[in-house]
């Protein structure tokens, strides 16, 4: 019995070869408008749809496939005698394959068209074809994506028909496509016609996690399509399944690593906060110095690296417990070493690091917040004190701003240049209700702890107090927001901190600047805040 395929597409990529294959396999091809013209011009026999429906395309092409001779041939149940008799008595032939993709509505509205142009790009017949074919997937093959031509061709040539498993997958793909399409129309018309802004997000490939944030909570991870390297698309090379907390920490580590991707850099994260960030002449240098930022917190951490991991870098982790290592790629011997280090260590490969997503979201009970991704490091670079901020400190300042952006507010971060052009976080205070505590109670003790380690290991020819003062005097302090009072500046001065970067914008800026001048501190206003909640 002759088989029929209906083809009506806007995207003609790969169509010529696929349609020729169908024709060679004995399919009668029924087609419409521009698709029919394309097929005939390429020497492929095709039947105009009006010969099947008995009607010409009507009202400017708005009606062409909406007819019982089409939808009866798609929707009837092949092993239902009543359906078969009804179809036969009406002279309707079966349609076994439907190839359709839709008017480019999403692409059209991105160009800010008139309402009339947007509405003309709302597909009616195509959506109906897809839904009808997908509904009857037990018997009908529906193709919405040209990337599926090859797999369908392979099955038709080898088996004479598509498999039930393939038709199930294509069915879901078609319904997903029409759901996204209708969602785009709904969002656009809601805003244009009723001034109601809607946000519809789509996630799939949901998988159960071992547990959630705590053992008694269930959790799942759902993916969203993105080209940007992320927890949703990286490749796991080794180790046990990722946990809820792993996903969050990986996101935090990757965000900072992407911003440092021009360097050999290492980011070590624990509970969403970087406990160590550094750049280096080599990746190993970066990892060593990031680890030295907080050797205690680095235990059980997430590490993100910006370059291919070599064996020397991997070997640094011998005897050190970490949960996850994320990097663009791994040398074969480095990967083997890390695999042998622990059967549970998660090793994740991202490919080249870059950013592409422009929006970020926070889910709340009963709502969601959408905001622009926090891009940029400063809106201005204004020295507001008598003591000038040297150009030689700017790169260190920018590195420390990046580190500050990815710590939880309120936060203070001190960065140091440990070698010419190479930077690391010497200490930080994060997640505090007030900024002075971030410096006084957290960052300062951590700085002295790390300097103590450095003094013991370097064994310099100066006394410890002088060593500490000299090292701190060369650091840059970055605050995630303005100083509401001058108390943070006073604490900084007590510990010989000479360079401060903050947003500015406080009603007491004048007081803060005066106090900075009193202690010969150089201060930059960036005009940009780095809150991270």
Q: What is the DSSP letter of 361?
A: E
What CATH class is the domain 229-349? alpha beta
Q: How crowded is the C-beta side of 254, counted as CA atoms within 13 Å?
A: 26
Per-residue pLDDT at 348: 97
> Distance of alpha carbon 465 from its chain centroid, rounded?
46
Residue 405 neighbours by CB under 8 Å, 6+ apart: 256, 259, 374, 377, 480, 530, 532
State both tokens at 3: 């088989």
Architecture field, domain 376-525: 3-Layer(aba) Sandwich (3.40)
Q: For the chain, how are helix, strand and coil distributed in percent, rounded to 5?
A: 40, 20, 40
Per-residue pLDDT at 27: 94
Q: What is the DSSP letter of 441?
A: I
State both tokens at 303: 């590490």
Question: Quick one: which of 101, 238, 114 has its CA closest to 174?
Answer: 101
Active site residue 405: no
394-405 vs 244-259: helix crossing angle, rounded to 10:
160
Each residue of 407-424: b (16+ CB within 10 Å) or e?
A: bbbbbbbbbbbbeeebbb
State both tokens at 112: 């800010």
DSSP 2-26: -EEEEEE-S--TTHHHHHHHHHHTT
Of 135, 173, 240, 408, the active-site residue reads 135
| Tens digit of pLDDT at every position of the chain (533 positions) | 579 999 999 999 999 999 999 999 999 999 988 899 999 999 999 999 988 887 777 677 777 778 888 889 899 998 888 888 888 888 889 999 999 998 888 888 888 899 988 888 888 888 999 999 999 999 999 999 999 999 999 999 999 999 999 999 999 999 999 999 999 999 999 999 999 999 888 888 899 998 999 999 999 999 988 899 998 999 999 999 999 999 999 999 999 999 999 999 999 999 999 999 999 999 999 999 999 999 999 999 999 999 999 999 999 999 999 999 999 999 999 999 999 999 999 999 999 999 999 999 999 999 999 999 999 999 999 999 999 999 999 999 999 999 999 999 999 999 999 999 999 999 999 999 999 999 999 999 999 999 999 999 988 889 999 999 999 999 999 999 999 999 999 999 999 999 999 999 999 999 999 999 999 999 999 999 999 98
Per-residue pLDDT at 293: 94
Architecture field, domain 3-194: 3-Layer(aba) Sandwich (3.40)
**Full-model pTM:** 0.85
Please tell me the distance from the alpha carbon of residue 347 to that of residue 313, in angstroms, as a whole number.
14
Please tell me the distance from the alpha carbon of residue 235 to that of residue 476, in angstroms, as a whole number.
37
300 with 323: CB under 8 angstroms?
Answer: yes
Of 271, 308, 339, 394, the active-site residue reads 271
| Chain segment 120-177, per-residue pLDDT in tens | 888 888 899 999 999 999 999 999 999 999 999 999 999 999 999 999 999 999 999 9
Rounded to 5 degrees, φ, ψ at 266 are: -130, 135
Per-residue pLDDT at 1: 58
Q: How crowded is the C-beta side of 106, counted as CA atoms within 13 Å?
A: 10
Please tell me the distance from the alpha carbon of residue 302 to that of residue 322, in angstroms, as a whole number.
6
- The label of the residue with tokens 């180790």 reads 239
Could you tell me where in the chain the CATH 3.40.140.20 domains are found? Answer: 229-349, 376-525
Active site residue 533: no
Please tell me the distance from the alpha carbon of residue 430 to that of residue 481, in angstroms, as a whole number.
12
354 with 258: CB under 8 angstroms?
Answer: yes
Could you tell me where in the chain the CATH 3.40.50.1380 domains are found? Answer: 3-194
Per-residue pLDDT at 225: 85
Cβ neighbour number for residue 107 with a 10 Å cutoff: 11
Q: Is 10 exposed, middle or buried (0-12, 13-18, 19+ CB in 10 A)?
A: middle
């Amino acid at each position: 019995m002759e088989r029929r395929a209906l083809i009506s597409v806007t995207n003609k990529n790969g169509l010529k070869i696929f349609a020729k294959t169908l024709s060679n396999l004995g399919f009668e091809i029924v087609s419409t408008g521009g698709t029919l013209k394309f097929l005939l011009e390429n020497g492929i026999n095709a039947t105009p749809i009006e010969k099947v429906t008995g009607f010409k395309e009507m009202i400017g092409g708005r009606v062409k496939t909406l007819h019982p001779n089409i939808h009866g041939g798609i929707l009837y149940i092949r092993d239902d005698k009543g359906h078969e008799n009804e179809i036969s008595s009406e002279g309707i032939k079966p349609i076994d394959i439907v190839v359709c993709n839709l008017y480019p509505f999403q692409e059209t509205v991105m160009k800010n068209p008139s309402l009339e142009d947007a509405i003309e790009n709302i597909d009616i017949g195509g959506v109906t074809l897809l839904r009808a074919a997908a509904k009857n997937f037990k018997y009908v093959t529906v193709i919405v994506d040209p990337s599926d031509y090859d797999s369908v061709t392979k099955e038709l040539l080898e088996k004479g028909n598509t498999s039930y498993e393939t038709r199930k997958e294509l069915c879901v793909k078609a319904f997903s496509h029409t759901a996204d399409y209708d969602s785009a129309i709904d969002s656009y018309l809601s805003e244009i016609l009723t001034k109601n802004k809607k946000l519809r997000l789509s996630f799939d490939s949901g998988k159960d996690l071992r547990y959630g944030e705590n053992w008694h909570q269930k959790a799942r991870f759902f993916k969203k399509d993105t080209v940007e390297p992320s927890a949703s698309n990286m490749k796991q090379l080794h180790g046990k399944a990722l946990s809820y907390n792993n996903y969050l920490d990986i996101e935090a580590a990757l965000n900072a690593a992407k911003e440092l991707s021009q360097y050999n850099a290492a980011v070590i994260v624990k509970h969403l906060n970087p406990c160590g960030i550094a750049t280096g002449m080599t990746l190993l240098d970066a990892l060593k110095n990031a680890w030295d930022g907080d050797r205690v917190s680095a235990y059980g951490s997430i590490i993100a690296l910006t370059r291919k991991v070599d064996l020397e870098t991997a070997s640094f982790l011998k005897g050190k417990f970490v949960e996850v290592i994320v990097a663009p790629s791994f040398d074969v011997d480095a990967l083997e070493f890390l695999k042998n280090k622990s059967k549970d260590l998660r090793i994740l490969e991202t490919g080249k690091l870059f950013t592409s997503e422009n929006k970020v979201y926070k889910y709340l009970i009963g709502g969601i917040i959408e905001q622009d991704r926090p891009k940029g490091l400063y809106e201005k670079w204004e020295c507001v004190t008598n003591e000038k901020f040297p150009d030689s400190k700017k790169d260190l300042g920018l590195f420390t701003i990046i580190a500050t952006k990815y710590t939880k507010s309120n936060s203070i971060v001190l960065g140091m240049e440990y070698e010419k052009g190479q930077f690391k976080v010497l200490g930080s205070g994060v997640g505090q209700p007030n900024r002075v505590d971030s410096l006084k109670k957290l960052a300062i003790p951590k700085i002295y702890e790390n300097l103590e380690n450095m003094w013991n290991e370097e064994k310099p020819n100066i006394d410890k107090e002088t060593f500490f003062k000299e090292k701190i005097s060369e650091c840059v302090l970055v605050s995630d927001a303005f100083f509401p009072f001058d108390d943070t500046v006073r604490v900084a001065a007590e510990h010989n901190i000479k360079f401060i970067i903050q947003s500015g914008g406080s009603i007491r800026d004048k007081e803060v600047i005066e106090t900075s001048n009193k202690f010969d501190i150089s201060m930059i206003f960036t005009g940009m805040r780095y809150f991270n909640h």
